[in-house]
Amino acid sequence: MEAQVNRSIDELLDQLAATNDGMTPFNITLPIQLCVGNIINETLFGYHFKYTDTDQFEFVINSVSKHLQNLKDNVWVLIVQAWPWTRHLPIIGRKGHAEPIRDISKFQDFIAEGVNRIVQTYDTDQEPTNFVQSYLAEMKKNPQLDLINLNQVAIDFWMAGMETTSTTLRWAVLLLMKHANVQEKVRSELWSVVGRDRRLEMADKPSLPYFNATIAEIMRAANTIPFLAFHRCGFIASTEDSIVGGKLIPADTLTLPQTYSVLRDERFFDRPEAFLPERFLEIDGTTPHKKNLERLLAFGMGKRICVGEGLARMEIFLVLGTLLLRYRLEPTDPIDMKPIFSVVLAPRPFKCRVAPL
């Protein structure tokens, strides 16, 4: 998987070299999105989008972004999420279920086309090289698996993995421009461990405590996923009461975990509005602060934790680290940290100077 991530990073570097002169204000959003999107696309389908031809890619990500924004803005969608049976009611069902499905249908078509292309060409007796091929090979042995489920898994994988990771990386750029001293300290650590003549590797991770702490603080400060999915509460099943924080939660209560509140709570994080990577390190400056790391709920917790956590952490570490090794990120306009509130908290559009080192 690391080699796969690095292939997309190499294409990101090629794109920056070809389109960024290091002086002119540059929109780094699409290069970051394309890098992350290609990691996911190669995982699922085995191919990359080229930075010289991004029309289809931009159409796909714009469809996803619009869909996620609608999930926040559309009160009917929230009603259907909370009470699924309401999708059968005339007005609520149309505005909260049918229309959002219609709006995302082009993205679903993109996924279906990718799956169908592999279905038509893949010989299940061959060694699989991507997720869809692996699923088809397993489907041959397990009758409970089918193409409907495969398409839905691919949709979830692409939508969840693309938007959250690329948004976190965009927040990372903003935060490290706003806190240039942190950017320089991270770069100094990277240069001392990795040098300037080789590639950053996951094997370097234990030797980069300040960079790791900075990534943790970026995820806390960005707070990209302000709330998790609705769940029915139950200790073992939704028919049993639960005790959470000493409070009784009756069986089958609909709950909406608010990670935003936890990551901004001064009882858990001192001076939560400040950007302090050191909060994730012990006094010695190198040992991880385990208690604060446990409170970092960026990927959820328990059995419902994000299944893509490992890949997302690898992407953020390698992509951000590589950028900082090779470029200085500088603001060209006043930095606006006010987010666009949606299912994903995204930064407002910005340009920056991506200066080669």
Q: Which residues fall in the annotated binding site for heme? A: 306
Q: Which residue has the tokens 């696309």?
A: 41
Q: How far is CA 157 from CA 54, 258, 306, in A?
A: 20, 22, 11
What does 293-340 look like in DSSP terms, one character per residue? HHH--TT--GGGS-TTHHHHHHHHHHHHHHHHHHEEEEESS------B
> How far, in Å, are 49, 157, 159, 229, 277 from residue 53 at the CA level?
7, 23, 21, 35, 38
d(Cα 256, Cα 233) in Å, to the nearest integer?
10
Outline where the chain has alpha helix (H).
2-19, 29-45, 55-73, 75-82, 90-93, 99-103, 105-121, 131-141, 147-178, 180-194, 209-222, 259-263, 290-295, 309-326
Structure tokens at 198: 């080789």
Q: Cβ(351)–Cβ(25) under 8 Å? A: yes
Sign of the dihedral through C-alpha 318, 291, 176, 181: negative
Q: What are phi and psi of 350, to 5 degrees?
A: -150, 160
Written as one letter, the residue type at 54 is: T
Binding site, annotated residues = 306
Strand 242-244 to 352-356 pairing: unpaired
